Amino acid sequence: AQTVTQSQPEMSVQEAETVTLSCTYDTSESDYYLFWYKQPPSRQMILVIRQEAYKQQNATENRFSVNFQKAAKSFSLKISDSQLGDAAMYFCAYRSAVNYNQGGKLIFGQGTELSVKP
């Protein structure tokens, strides 16, 4: 079974600074998807960034980028120029690529609570 681990329950960053959230996962599959989701106080889940395992290039979305290390099974999220609105719970998630056309369940890490100091 696949597992996702986020070892940082809480992180703090100064506004405009950079912060990196860690995530490791365990799987025996070779093809899968990885995601970072943000859950603000409203509790609405928002997709931040996604990475396909077959792609070597790290995904980027504006101020958000990942460091995907497939061999090490590591998938960290870097937030640059942190803003007050980035304060939220961040979840790392894994999705198998098997049966991709049927939709697939997400396996979430424990979450990292990010606070942004003005």
Partner 1 sequence: GAVVSQHPSWVICKSGTSVKIECRSLDFQATTMFWYRQFPKQSLMLMATSNEGSKATYEQGVEKDKFLINHASLTLSTLTVTSAHPEDSSFYICSAQPFDRGWTEAFFGQGTRLTVV
Residues lying near partner 1 in the complex (CB under 8 A): 33, 35, 42-45, 47, 50, 52, 89, 91, 95, 100-111, 113
Supply 30's token pair: 């070779």
Closer CB to partner 1, residue 44 or residue 57?
Answer: 44
Q: What is the DSSP string of 23-82?
A: -EEE-S-SSEEEEEEEE-TT---EEEEEEETT--SPPEETTEEEEEETTTTEEEEEE-S-
Least separation in angstroms between CB 43 and partner 1 = 5
Burial of 71 (0-12, 13-18, 19+ CB in 10 A): exposed
CB 15, min distance to partner 1, A:
24
Task: Give the span between the Cα atoms of 79 and 65, in whole angstroms.
Answer: 7
Q: Which is nearer to partner 1, 11 or 107 (CB)?
A: 107
Minimum distance, C-beta of residue 33 to partner 1, in the bound complex (Å)? 5
In the complex with partner 1, the residue whose CB is nearer, 39 or 67, is 39
Nearer to partner 1, 103 or 118 (CB): 103
Taking the complex as a whole, the smallest distance from the CB of residue 47 to partner 1 amounts, in Å, to 6
